[in-house]
Structure 1
Amino acid sequence: MCGILFSIQDKNVDPKENYDPTWSTLQELNSRRGPSAQDSHSVTISQPSSTSQEDPMWSNINMTFYGAVLHLRGDQVTRQPHVSPTGNILLWNGEIFDGIPVDHHENDGRVLMNQLEVISARDQGAQEHKQDFLDLMARIEGPYAFVYFHVLSQTLYFGRDCLGRRSLLWHKSDQNGSIIGLPFIITSTGYSSFRSDLLPLEEVPADGIYSVSLSPHSPKTTTKHPWIPAQSSDANEHGAMTLPFGRVNSVIPKDTELSAPFAEGLKFDVAHPDLAPPITGDMQEAITGMISVLGDSVRRRVQDIPRTGLQHDARVGILFSGGLDCLCLAALADRFLPEGEAIDLLNVGFENPRSVKAKAAEEALALKRLKKKQGTAESSGTTDGDITNSGKAKPTKPDTRFNVPDRTTGYESLTELRKIAPRRHWNFVEVNVPFEEAMAQRSEILERIAPLETVMDLSIAMAFWFASRGIGYIKNDQGELIPYTSQAKVLLSGLGADEQLGGYSRHKDQFTAAGWEGLIHELQLDLDRISTRNLGRDDRIISDHGKEARYPFLSTHVVQFLSKLRVDLKVDLRYPRGVGEKILLRHVARELGFDRASSHWKRAVQFGARTAKMTDSGRSEIGQQVVDRAKATAK
């Protein structure tokens, strides 16, 4: 994972007064993403000048490439930008897990640059090179964002992978449709739109790869080379790329294909984990296939991570709520990491004054009733000591302020996890966030999520920002909390499971309103918009700590497998909550040995960690409204 930053300026034109502070701010922010090494490279292209508004050209183009590297691939730190002897330049923020062979001793950015040199030397013309370049990028399985300058055709390429798993922002200056002005900036991360002293930024869409011709007399316009579904009639269109997966299977299941209806008297819920919907032959085949393809995705994402810390430090962490998705990832990661190696389970809980106040009132009322019943006014119990962030290794008692729903679920799932993988050392990291600390960091987190700045974005991002920071506590054998900071640079996330397997309440709503057709439409919609709703934001948040998020459920191999499956084999909402949603993954969990956790309900992270509506003033906030800047910056 890296931070990449690029700009085009005209050396004959004075830059805008806010360009220099913008560039220096972005350089500092991108360096957080890549603490292992930073470097830059500049190149100038001279062109004839023009004053035509319809055909804008620049006279003396200066391009600056800046790369910051987080060392996660290869035996040694490989600096970037990658500059070839022929003058081609690559900024690469990604991981190649399949599609192009990469030995575990090699750096995938350098391997990709070598491949680009091969096609550059082979191709005879700009159009031939363009299609070969696009075909090469389409073969890559893995998350990426990049900037590439091909010197022979004087063409700039940039973009994100087909799911948008890596963040990329741009500033197009005086934009008019696809025409770009100067300065033109591309960056992995940015800052809040409230920063009027800096140039505004927008997300680069993940709908294709973009190019700009920098050759003389060419209009400076962006050309999109779109991702096209494999079954589309335009799949072989020149200048396009074929998606590695098709659209969601739209076949409506027949009654004869569906699993048996409810048996009268059976109660499917968390209290009855031994009961489960019957498994048909088709479902058993889907379970076996899912374990295989998801396991391979996890394997590719946890193997060969270089060790940069102490021998006993965990190299892999899991954003761990105790829910179905992350628990399955933990069980599969256990299969592919050395037996003696620890895995960090990062479980975040916030002190939510509203929730704490409500719980205190509830406990006071219960105590009052108990005293009245017993006819005594004796005081009962003592309060636990507060947890501080002093960093001292002094044990302390658990603090009930952080007993959020995800903490309870997390420990329940940890118990099952230890039963199926007793030889693994599981570090259950309690990331406890006091209210004052959450408020102190709120403004900085709002900067990282931009340009997504809704109330819901902020509440989700706060949970991920503190969890990925990894500063918390683990319990000793006496049940006391010991300060602990996770050194894991790779964090696995279960994102993508709910979108593809029908885990949200809106899937139930669509099924109730429009049956299987409505459900299929909603699943396709979720897959189409995942880049704009989640992935860019989460990448910017987690990478702020020099960590890399990896999404096994969003391997294009997993997406392809699930897209082909008949809908009822993924989600069957004829069954009640905790049974029918994500029914395939629930069967997978049981196959992996998780009987109780297989009945866990979906709980959004902002409610499980209690980052939503933390103050009385936030009670009226709506998830999709833009954050009130005054509230966000208030301490």
Structure 2
Amino acid sequence: MCGILFSIQDRNVEPTDKFAPTWSTLQELNSRRGPSAQDSHSVALSQPNNDSLGPTWSSNIDMTFYGAVLHLRGDHVSRQPHVSPTGNVLLWNGEIFDGIAVDHHENDGRVLTDQLEAISARCYDGPQDHRQDFLNLMATIEGPYAFVYFHAHSQSVYFGRDCLGRRSLLWHKSDQGESTVGLPFILTSTGYSAFRSELLRLEEVPADGIYSLSLASNSPKVVTKHPWVPAQSSSANEPDTMTLPFGRVNSAVPQDSELSVPFPDGLKFDQAHPDVVPPITEAMKEAITGMIEVLGDSVRRRVQDIPRTGLVHDARVGILFSGGLDCLCLAALADRFLPEGEAIDLLNVGFENPRSVKAKAAEEALAQKRLKKKQGVAESSGSTDGGKAKNENTKSVKPDTRFNVPDRTTGYESLAELRKVSPQRHWNFVEVNVPFEEAMAQRSEILERIAPLETVMDLSIAMAFWFASRGIGYIKNDQGELEAYTSQAKVLLSGLGADEQLGGYSRHKDQFTAAGWEGLIHELQLDLDRISTRNLGRDDRIISDHGKEARYPFLSTNVVQFLSKLRVDLKVDLRYPRGVGEKILLRHVARELGFNRASSHWKRAVQFGARTAKMTDSGRSEIGQQVVDRAAE
């Protein structure tokens, strides 16, 4: 994980120009993402005056590259920008897990720089020759990334995100239109909202291709997209394109003969008896085996060889842990590939939500009143201990019911199963408890981190991830007492991508009800197409604010390819009721891993599981800044 920042400026503008404070703020924000090392590099270009450059472009421009590094690859910290003897410059925010060989002693940014140099050395006939080889190289990378690359010979700047958009990259184009670029031109991993700056108008760089900008004197200043295209499309293998590493969602509608037989003899599913499961066909058996293999390999690549910075038993890996199906399977698979004596942190967040606390108190009071009325027992302020003597020497911490959110309950239930399956592992269940006052105090800062997104829903989700990834909370000791604990894990696994590919949302059920298997397939494809714009950039900016890196095993391109090829009913079968049919493949995988109870858990959105939703009286139509402003009044 790194923070990368790049700008093109007019050299004739004085350093005291209004852009200087903006650049300084962006440097500070990006440095949070990379606390291990920070560095910068400048390149000056002088060009003859040429009207084709456009009225906003000077004949003398400066490029500034700034990189902040979080050390997660290689034996030593490798500073960036990576500058080659030929003048090429690379800013790299990514992880190469496959496609290009990277030894665990090496830094992947340095390896990629060497690969780019080899291409550059072969291609001096023109920018087009270099460009296609460059695009082909980037298309081979399996892993999340965002980057900026200056190719000195062709005077071209390339930048972009991976095909799923797993890393954040924002741009400011000086309001020159959809493709035209004015100065200053800025690319940054993170930024802040337009409410704080009239100068900065950031947007997410689309993850639909790699973009280039020619700085040659005879080139108009427009960005050019070099798109990702499906392998089976007519435009595959055309110049200036990259082939997607996975195909479209399998569109085959299952036939009756291929479908599993419903529960026999009228037997109905009961969540209290999770051993009652749908029949498993031979095709499903193969899917289960394949899923465990490909997801396990994805987890292995994401947890192995993480540099150790603390004690030998300290956790290097944390899991954003709601206790749900997705994160539980990731925990079990991570357990297979980490040393036995090493802890794994399970980060479980709960918020004090005054609305929920008040509603729960009223509900409990009403239930108590009804019980007393039924029993004819008069109200009494006294209490009994059931005849059991108290041990005065035993320390205890009274549970704080403010944080008994749904995800806390589910988390402890899944933890119990996890400890049965893997008793030798030291599982740190970290209770991240967020009082209402602290949530409100940090709300404005969190809103800045999700910029340019600004909806109340984005803010609610971001608050849960921001506090969870910070990792400040409590764990229970051997006596069951809560002790203060701060997670030192720099790599956090997330289950994002499971619901989108395996039909875990209620909208999938709606589409299946309305339009059958065809409607469900269409919705799954839509979710995959838009995942970069809905989730990933926001989550990357939020989690990395604490110098942590989110990794998404379900979004390995190898996992996406495997699931895209599967027939739809082997992934999700919504003929069955809730808790059975959605994500049916992953439920079978969970049972295969030993989690019978958790295999029937329902999907619960993080903002409801952690209770960040509706913490105030904000309306759906409000944007996040309006909520923050009202809270401050």
For the pair 1:183 / 2:181, whether they are aligned, the reply is: no
Aligned to 1:448: 449
Give the letter aligned to residue 272 of structure 1: H
Q: Secondary structure at the match of 1:159?
A: strand
Give the Å deviation of 1:544.
0.2
Give the Å deviation of 1:547.
0.2
Q: Secondary structure at the match of 2:112?
A: helix
Give the Å deviation of 1:625.
5.2
> In 2, Cα distance between the equivalents of 1:364 and 1:232?
62
Q: Secondary structure at the match of 1:277?
A: coil
Q: Secondary structure at the match of 1:269?
A: coil
Aligned to 1:115: 115
Aligned to 1:36: 36
Q: Secondary structure at the match of 1:562?
A: helix
Counterparts in 2 of 1:199-238, with a 5 A limit?
199-238=200-239
> In 1, Cα distance between the equivalents of 2:171 and 2:604?
34
Q: Gapped runs of 5+ residues in structure 2?
A: 385-394
Give the letter aligned to residue 162 of structure 1: C
> In 1, Cα distance between the equivalents of 2:248 and 2:396?
53
Give the Å deviation of 1:371.
3.3
Aligned to 1:387: none
Aligned to 1:628: 626
1:515-558 CA distance string (max 9 Å, x none): 00000000000000000000000000000000000000000000
> In 2, Cα distance between the equivalents of 1:593 and 1:422?
13
Aligned to 1:296: 297
Aligned to 2:508: 507
Give the letter aligned to residue 536 of structure 2: L
> Structure 1 pair 263/625, CA: closer, same or farther in 2 (3 Å)?
farther
Give the letter aligned to residue 282 of structure 1: A
Query: Is the deviation greater in 594-603 or in 188-197?
Result: 188-197
Contact conserved, 1:174 with 1:182, CA < 8 A, in 2? no
Aligned to 2:103: 103
> In 2, Cα distance between the equivalents of 1:235 and 1:633?
52
Give the Å deviation of 1:396.
3.3
Q: TM-score normalized by structure 2?
A: 0.96
> In 1, Cα distance between the equivalents of 2:228 and 2:427?
41
> In 2, Cα distance between the equivalents of 1:522 and 1:354?
34
> Structure 1 pair 364/510, CA: closer, same or farther in 2 (3 Å)?
same
For the pair 1:142 / 2:143, whether they are aligned, the reply is: yes
Contact conserved, 1:507 with 1:522, CA < 8 A, in 2? yes
Q: Secondary structure at the match of 2:357?
A: helix
Contact conserved, 1:495 with 1:554, CA < 8 A, in 2? yes
Aligned to 2:552: 551
Contact conserved, 1:57 with 1:219, CA < 8 A, in 2? no
Contact conserved, 2:73 with 2:307, CA < 8 A, in 1? yes
Give the letter aligned to residue 101 of structure 2: P
Contact conserved, 1:442 with 1:633, CA < 8 A, in 2? no
Percent identical residues = 83
Aligned to 1:377: 379
Contact conserved, 2:53 with 2:220, CA < 8 A, in 1? no
Give the letter aligned to residue 328 of structure 1: C
Give the letter aligned to residue 116 of structure 1: L
Q: Secondary structure at the match of 1:367?
A: helix
Contact conserved, 1:397 with 1:480, CA < 8 A, in 2? no
Give the Å deviation of 1:231.
0.7
Q: Secondary structure at the match of 2:41?
A: strand
Aligned to 1:172: 173
Counterparts in 2 of 1:49-198, with a 5 A limit?
49-51=49-51, 57-125=57-125, 126-198=127-199
> In 2, Cα distance between the equivalents of 1:219 and 1:334?
54
Give the Å deviation of 1:480.
1.4
Give the letter aligned to residue 30 of structure 1: N
> In 1, Cα distance between the equivalents of 2:24 and 2:382?
58
> Structure 1 pair 429/156, CA: closer, same or farther in 2 (3 Å)?
same
Give the Å deviation of 1:378.
1.4
For the pair 1:2 / 2:10, whether they are aligned, the reply is: no
Give the letter aligned to residue 99 of structure 2: G
Q: How many residues align?
A: 621
> Structure 1 pair 16/259, CA: closer, same or farther in 2 (3 Å)?
farther
Counterparts in 2 of 1:170-569, with a 5 A limit?
170-372=171-373, 373-379=375-381, 396-569=397-570
> Structure 1 pair 52/85, CA: closer, same or farther in 2 (3 Å)?
closer
Give the letter aligned to residue 632 of structure 2: A
Give the Å deviation of 1:626.
5.5
Counterparts in 2 of 1:603-618, with a 5 A limit?
603-615=604-616, 617-618=617-618
> In 1, Cα distance between the equivalents of 2:576 and 2:314?
43
Query: Is the deviation greater in 478-487 or in 335-344?
Result: 478-487
Q: Secondary structure at the match of 1:256?
A: helix
Aligned to 2:574: 573
Contact conserved, 1:320 with 1:346, CA < 8 A, in 2? yes
Aligned-pair Cα RMSD in Å: 1.6
Query: Is the deviation greater in 203-212 or in 167-176?
Result: 167-176
Please list every run of at least 4 consecutive aligned residues from structure 1 whose deviation after the TM superposition is greater than 3 angstroms.
13-18, 50-58, 624-627, 629-633
Give the Å deviation of 1:621.
2.7
> Structure 1 pair 55/441, CA: closer, same or farther in 2 (3 Å)?
closer
Aligned to 1:388: none
Give the Å deviation of 1:458.
0.4
> In 2, Cα distance between the equivalents of 1:415 and 1:200?
48
Give the Å deviation of 1:272.
1.4
> In 2, Cα distance between the equivalents of 1:83 and 1:96?
19
Aligned to 1:25: 25
> Structure 1 pair 48/151, CA: closer, same or farther in 2 (3 Å)?
same
1:246-289 CA distance string (max 9 Å, x none): 00000000000000023243221321111100000111000000
Contact conserved, 1:12 with 1:59, CA < 8 A, in 2? no
Give the Å deviation of 1:178.
1.1
> In 1, Cα distance between the equivalents of 2:99 and 2:110?
15
> Structure 1 pair 175/376, CA: closer, same or farther in 2 (3 Å)?
same
> Structure 1 pair 440/147, CA: closer, same or farther in 2 (3 Å)?
same
> Structure 1 pair 630/463, CA: closer, same or farther in 2 (3 Å)?
closer
Q: TM-score normalized by structure 1?
A: 0.95
Aligned to 1:390: none
Give the Å deviation of 1:630.
4.6
Q: Secondary structure at the match of 1:416?
A: helix
Q: Secondary structure at the match of 1:99?
A: coil
> In 2, Cα distance between the equivalents of 1:632 and 1:311?
47
Q: Secondary structure at the match of 2:93?
A: strand
Give the letter aligned to residue 484 of structure 2: P
> In 1, Cα distance between the equivalents of 2:55 and 2:237?
31
> In 2, Cα distance between the equivalents of 1:356 and 1:248?
43
Give the Å deviation of 1:208.
0.3
> Structure 1 pair 321/381, CA: closer, same or farther in 2 (3 Å)?
farther
> In 2, Cα distance between the equivalents of 1:14 and 1:428?
53
Contact conserved, 2:455 with 2:623, CA < 8 A, in 1? yes
Give the Å deviation of 1:380.
5.4
Give the Å deviation of 1:95.
0.1
> Structure 1 pair 607/557, CA: closer, same or farther in 2 (3 Å)?
same
Give the Å deviation of 1:52.
5.0
> Structure 1 pair 428/546, CA: closer, same or farther in 2 (3 Å)?
same
> In 2, Cα distance between the equivalents of 1:56 and 1:238?
31
Give the Å deviation of 1:157.
0.3
Give the letter aligned to residue 375 of structure 1: V
Give the Å deviation of 1:12.
2.2
Query: Is the deviation greater in 196-205 or in 466-475?
Result: 196-205
Q: Gapped runs of 5+ residues in structure 1?
A: 383-393
